[in-house]
Every structure is written in C-alpha cells, then in structure tokens.
Amino acid sequence: MNIKNEVLVRVYIVLFFMCLIAMLIFGRAIQISVFEGEKWRSQGNEEHRRYRNVEAERGNILTENGDLLATSLPFFDLAFDPLSTGMTNDDWKFNIDSLSYCLAAFVNPDYTPGGWKFKLEQARLDSNRYIQLKRNATLAEKEFIASFPLFKLGGYRGGLIVRQHYERETPFGMLADRTIGYVRPLEGDTTYIGLEGHFNDVLAGEAGRELMYRVGSKHWMPVHNLTKIEPKPGRDIVTTIDINIQDIAENALLEAMQKHQAKRGSAIVMDVETGAIRAIANIGQRRNGKYWEIYNDAIGTATEPGSTYKLAAIMALLEDGLIELEDSIDLEGGVSQFYEEELVDAVAHGLDTTTVWRAFEVSSNVGIAKLVHENYGLTGQGDKFIKKLKQFHLNFKTGIEIDGEPKPYVKEAYSEEDDWSGTTLPWMSIGYEVTVTPLQLLTFYNAVANDGKMMKPQLVKEVQQYGETVEKFPAVQIKGRIASKNTIAKAKRLLEGVVENGTARKYKSDRYRFAGKTGTAQKDYKKLGDIVSVGGYQASFAGYFPAEKPKYSCIVVISEPQVGGYYGGSVALPIFKKIADKTFATDVDLFKALNGAQKPILARNQLPDYDVGHRQDVQTVLSYLKIPFETRTSNEWSVIRATEADSLKLLKRTISEEKVPNVVGMGIRDALYILENLGLNVEIQGYGRVKQQSIRPGTRVHGQTIRIRMG
C-alpha cells in the first residue's frame, strides 16, 4: 500500500469515529429534549424554584384562668431586592436617597447614608438581589422599617423581603418550665418534652406552602402569585395550673432548696375533688450551684418513699380486719430484729408498749414493720398484703398527660425474680423495696382525702381555638373507692393525729387544720458485714388541707439535703406548711363569708342612741340600713332615741336663732353649719361626734368663741 492510500484509510477511520460520536451526541440530545425533557425541565426548575413550607403559629399554653404559660412571638428576617420586578427606575431614583438615610439612622449606623446609597447602587449594578437588612426584628421594628421610603410601596414594588418565624416564650420564666416542656428538632430526630411534646399535634397547626425562587447560593425569595397556601395556626391548650399556687409552690421549694443545699426537689398541689393539678414544681441543682427546673422528678422519678408509705401498710391491715387503732404493739424501745437484719426507729421516742395509733403518729419503723410481719409474713400471707397495695392502685401509672412516667415497683409475693426474702414485707411496710413517683404517691393520699375516690391527675382541661372551646377533658375517676368507708375514716384520723400529736405537731396551724405524714428515706443503702454506707437521704411530706373538708392535697419531696437536717419533719414539712398557709390565705373559697349567716337582731345597746342630725338625712340612712324607726317631729333637726322594742324614735331638737343650741350628738358637719350660721367662732378638738360644748345651751348669742370636743 502506497503512502497515499495509507493516509486515506486513516482519514476515513477518523471520519467514521467523528460521525459516530456526532450521531451519539445528536441521539442523546434528542433523548434529553424529547423523551426526558419534562424530567430535566422540572429538575431545573426545582433548583431555582420550589414550594417551601411556611411556618404556622404555634398554639398557646394557658393557665386555668387564661394567663400565658407559653406563647409564640413573631420575629422577622428583613432583606432588600434592588431589582424587584415591580420596581421602576423612577421609583428607585426618587426614593434611594431618603431610603439610605433611614437605613443609616434606624437600621445599621455602621454605614453612613452615603455608604448605604453606594452599597445599594452597587448591588443593583451587580444584579445582587438579596441584601440582608436585619435579623430577628420584632413586629414593631418590622412595621417601622416597612414604612421607609420605597419599602412602603409594597413587597412587589418596594423590594422589601420579609421572612417570618416564631420563637417560643415562657412569660413566667422558671414557673412550671419542665412541665410546659419543649419540642426540639435534632439531627435525624426530634425531642418531645412535657405538655409541648405530648400535645404537639394540637399546638403545631398546619404549615402553609409558598412558591419561592433562589437568589444566589442560599437565599430564597417568594414569588408573588396566588398559589400561596396560608398556614393554619395551632390550637391552644388550657391547663389546670393556678398561676398563684404555682408561684407559691415554686418559691417555697426554691427557698428551701437553697437553704438545705439539696440536689433535687419537687412539690405538687392537687385539687382533691377533681384531681386537677394546681401546681407542679421541680427544681434541681446545676453544676454551677444554681437552681432551675432541670427534670420533672415529680412525674418521672420513682424512688423508695420511706415513711409516707406507712399509710398504705396500716390501711391494708385495717382493710383486712387484722388490727384496730387501739390495739397494743411493743415498740421494744425503738430497736427490733428481723432475721439477720436490725431495724431502728429514726427518732428516739422512749416508748415500749403503746397503741397502733401512737406508733403511727411517732412514725415508728419497728411498730409498723412488726404489725405487717406478724399479720402477713409469719402466716405466709404476703400475697394478701401485695393484693391490698394493688387495690390502692400503688402498682399503676397515673396516666398523666406527660410522657416518661415510670410504673411503680411492687414486688410479687414470694417471687425469686423479685428477690423476695423474709425481710421484704417489713421493709416494704416502711417504704423500702418499693418505688413510686411523688405524683403516684400523692394520687393515693388524694384518694384518702377524697373519702376513698381515686381521681386521675389532670393537667389539661380543654383545647381552644380563637378563644372558643373545641374539646373538653372532664375529670376522670380511676376507682370508685380504694377502701371501705371505715378504713378511710380511720386513715384520716391517723393523718390528723400525726399533725396534732406526732412528728408534724411542731408545724400545726391555729388558723386551719391539716393532715399528713412525714417521711425520711435512706438512698443507696449498702451493708457489707458490719460496714453500712448511705448515699444520702430523701425527705418528704404528703398530706391535705383543710383537714375537715379537704380541698387541696400536696406532696413535697427533697432529695439529698446537705445542710440543716434531712428528716421529712424538718426539711419537707416546712415547705408544705408554707404552701398551705399562703394557698389558704389567698383562696376565698376556704373562708366563711362574713354576711353568709342570718343577719342578727341588734341589741338595744348596739342601736344608735342620742345621735343628732338633719332629719331627712337621718331618715335616708335608717331606711337604707333597714332599721325600723318612728318619726315624731316635723322639725328640720331631730335626735335619735332607742326604745326597748329594738326600734328607734326620731324626736324634736329645737334650734333657736338667738340662743346657743345644744349640738351634743351631732356630727362635725352639722354642728359647724348651725354654730357658724349663728355667728359663733368654733374651735374643734378631736374626731367623731360632739361630746361636749364649752357654752351652755340657751345662752344668748353675741359672737362668742365656742369650743366643741369630739369623741
């Protein structure tokens, strides 16, 4: 093959491949434009235009009386598009100077008016369509900026870009902070806490949709068209919280936490009749020593309660008919042996043989443990005791409207899995080897105060939209009666005895009566041979007030107090008392109305007597007060005289124009009117009605000075 033919072959080969590549490119172009055109056009539009969600306003969380516990406040990110499609060159030229001045004076003074004008004009030349003005502007700031020159022409013509978002605010700060909770989006997940979390579907509303187009690499601007779907705001929830009682409980708890340098504490106040929670406070100590609502221990933390659980043990014995309150029990001086374990009363009481009633009042560990051990343990009937605890619902959750409530722990009788032993029953009877949350224990005490009817604790009573009720949550009765009337009546007497004569007697009130039980529990108790270690103490008090007709039940639990004692009677009880005192003082329903009783008949010495005044005025007053009287004079002035028949007579009082009158019994206004009209100079001493006058009545008037003494 000559050189010419060799070159031609190579040219044909190159030409063939070039034609093949061209055909492939052409075919791919046809495929993209014709067969896949819609797909790629849609994807191209998505890169620059897309529908994005518009945040809905979250509903409010309200107190029982409508005060805001949590609300959403609107904030605005403001920007400027100098190339907005509705803006004309005349709009720009006419407003740019005054707009620059306003931005420099009221938005960002880092730029002078000239600097702002240069920045805006340069952005317009560079086709920069998004200039950040202010982030997180308030509604008032947004409205003010929207009134600037050019901006006031509207978003389409004026170029002002407004992106609204909401921030959650709690007006009362720490009050019920953990109970209110939050919804916090995290990477790949969302945390739901408290009422915000449980009622998120109610509060969240429905997001809207708006067509947006991208400006630059990360900014999006709304497209002005009619396709926007407005968001639907969330609905409000009305809680059972009474903000006054919540404030009382929170402050009393915080003050005690600081005083005792405790690690954690909680307090709950519940309406006895309905189970509505009026206050729920949780305070924990942070690493920096400051206190805040860190965790909802009242609902989410189950611990060994200690002596407040003794009420359940005594009620079980009473309900099974195994004891009477007047029965005798040997307290052995406060020390007893149960198999290899020694049980000691927390406080020395110096009692040996006493009544069951007295053993409960002084909170004797030995007395209560022996009663349960002798009546259930030694007879092999531990299952009967456990059955009674379940009858009292001490093994069930309350079902409160907040997630994270643990189930109470009650051992199954003689269960190896539950590590049942010979000491289990006596230890359970005094609040060990069982766990319960403060709310679960309060629900039990509340049932006792409510004559045995157990109510479900309630935090939310209704859902509202635009102030109108759309759903109600009525009070729910968990159980008709947790025990017989006789047992409940005796339990109440025991709780009242604790305050009158027992471990709480130091704090009994002379204004009202309350009932309850102190509790002290050891935490992280460990025993290795003769060495015993205790990780701390938990002090508690559970009760209700007023004792005669309970309206509120309350529990206070303080974990690991470091200063000023650790017993329930010295740490938790004073908090309960402070909450009860202030709640009692501010609740008018707990006081008898002064005019509630039948109006008493006035005795003769309580009726007005020898009071003198203008007759028509006297008649008007007596008629208004509905005091019977008889008028026996037509004179302008009269004197009131009481009669034996509990009625009044209006008699004549003569006033002469030439002689000094008798003004004794008159008020200061009437006496001055008469005396000064006669030309007398009057000197007054004291207050009240005229008791004495210096010039004898009947003396001729000639401009003298008369002194009258009031009293």
CA–CA gap between residue 282 and residue 266 (Å, rounded): 4
Residue 630 contacts by C-beta under 8 Å, 6 or more apart in sequence? 647, 648, 649, 650
pLDDT tens digits along 23-79? 888 777 776 666 666 655 554 455 566 676 778 889 999 999 889 999 998 999 998
Tell me the domain boundaries of the chain. 51-174+208-236, 244-590, 604-710
The third-level CATH classification (topology) of the domain covering 244-590 is Beta-lactamase (3.40.710)
Reading the block at residue 277, the tokens are: 């929670």
Alpha carbon separation from 321 to 112, 143, 431, 484 (Å, rounded): 90, 75, 22, 11
User: What's the pLDDT score for residue 32?
Assistant: 65
Q: Which has more confidence, 46 or 702?
A: 702
User: What's the pLDDT score for residue 127?
Assistant: 84
CB half-sphere exposure, 582, CA atoms < 13 A: 15
Residue type, 208: G
User: What's the pLDDT score for residue 330?
Assistant: 93
Alpha carbon separation from 115 to 108, 111, 134, 146, 545 (Å, rounded): 11, 5, 17, 21, 70
Q: What angle do CA 611, 613, 616 make, to 5 degrees?
A: 125
User: What's the pLDDT score for residue 305?
Assistant: 96
Q: Is the pLDDT of residue 558 over 70?
A: yes
DSSP state at residue 377: I
Report which listed range, 116-120, 151-155, 290-294, is most confident: 116-120
Which CATH number does 51-174+208-236 carry? 3.90.1310
Q: Is the pLDDT of residue 437 over 60?
A: yes
Residue 560 contacts by C-beta under 8 Å, 6 or more apart in sequence? 262, 263, 264, 523, 536, 537, 538
Q: Read off the pTM.
A: 0.74
Compute CA 455 distance to the chain's CA centroid, rounded to the nearest angstrom: 20
CA–CA gap between residue 489 and residue 319 (Å, rounded): 11
User: What's the pLDDT score for residue 148?
Assistant: 94
User: What's the pLDDT score for residue 606?
Assistant: 53
CB half-sphere exposure, 649, CA atoms < 13 A: 10
Residue 524 contacts by C-beta under 8 Å, 6 or more apart in sequence? 533, 534, 535, 536
Using a pLDDT cut of 90, give the percent of the chain over it.
51
Confidence of residue 213 (pLDDT cuts 50, 70, 90): low
User: What's the pLDDT score for residue 674?
Assistant: 82
Compute CA 485 distance to the chain's CA centroid, rounded to the nearest angstrom: 34
Kind plus residue range of the DSSP H or E element containing 464: strand 460-465
User: What's the pLDDT score for residue 533?
Assistant: 61
User: What's the pLDDT score for residue 532?
Assistant: 59
Residue type, 592: K
Confidence of residue 695 (pLDDT cuts 50, 70, 90): confident
Confidence of residue 604 (pLDDT cuts 50, 70, 90): very low
Q: Is the pLDDT of residue 164 over 70?
A: yes
Nearest CA among 252, 268, 259 for reference residue 543: 268
Round the average pLDDT of the chain to a whole number and report it. Answer: 86
Phi and psi angles of residue 30, each rounded to the nearest 5 degrees, phi first: -60, -45
DSSP state at residue 436: B
